[in-house]
């Protein structure tokens, strides 16, 4: 399956995600994305930094983060996942061995459904070496 097919079929087609992108694990290369969903280099760099931040209170937890020019408040941040919310919409970011999945969900989707969708794809990619 191509990277674009993962975005289109495994994420957006579920109805739990309305736009998504897949980057390499360093955040320096976009492998696939939904049309019009642009994550700026500085935004993905901050996400990558959050995965390596081992502080008691991570910078991303106290300041939030931006995806596609929108600011999100951090709900969860650990070495694998970053969840953010803005009003009733939000983002789920999952890091695998070689990729970073960035997915946005609209206000009509429950955050748990969106998180489950993205985390399941992350689990699958890890299981096949990505």
Distance (Å, whole) CA 68 – CA 104:
10
**For the whole model, what pTM was predicted?**
0.95
Distance (Å, whole) CA 99 – CA 32:
11
Can you tell me whether residue 17 is helix, strand or coil? Answer: coil
Distance (Å, whole) CA 64 – CA 6:
27
Distance (Å, whole) CA 105 – CA 42:
21
Q: What is the pLDDT of residues 8-58, one digit of tens each?
A: 999 999 999 999 999 999 999 999 999 999 999 999 999 999 998 888 878
Q: What is the pLDDT of residues 51-83, one digit of tens each?
A: 988 888 788 999 999 999 999 999 999 999 999
**Chain-centroid distance, C-alpha 57:** 20
Q: Can you list the positions of beta strands (E) in 1-130? A: 19-24, 30-33, 65-67, 70-77, 81-86, 89-95, 99-105
């Amino acid at each position: 399956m191509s990277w674009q097919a993962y975005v289109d079929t495994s994420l957006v087609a579920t109805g739990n995600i309305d736009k998504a992108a897949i980057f390499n694990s360093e955040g320096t290369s976009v492998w696939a994305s939904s049309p019009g969903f642009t994550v700026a280099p500085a935004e993905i760099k901050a996400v990558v930094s959050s995965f390596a931040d081992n502080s008691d209170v991570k910078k991303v937890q106290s300041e939030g983060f931006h995806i596609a020019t929108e600011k999100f408040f951090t709900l969860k941040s650990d070495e694998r996942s970053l969840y953010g919310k803005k009003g009733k919409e939000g983002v789920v970011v999952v890091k695998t061995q070689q990729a970073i999945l960035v997915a946005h969900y609209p206000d009509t989707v429950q955050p748990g459904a969106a998180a489950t969708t993205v985390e399941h794809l992350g689990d699958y990619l890890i299981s096949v070496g990505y």
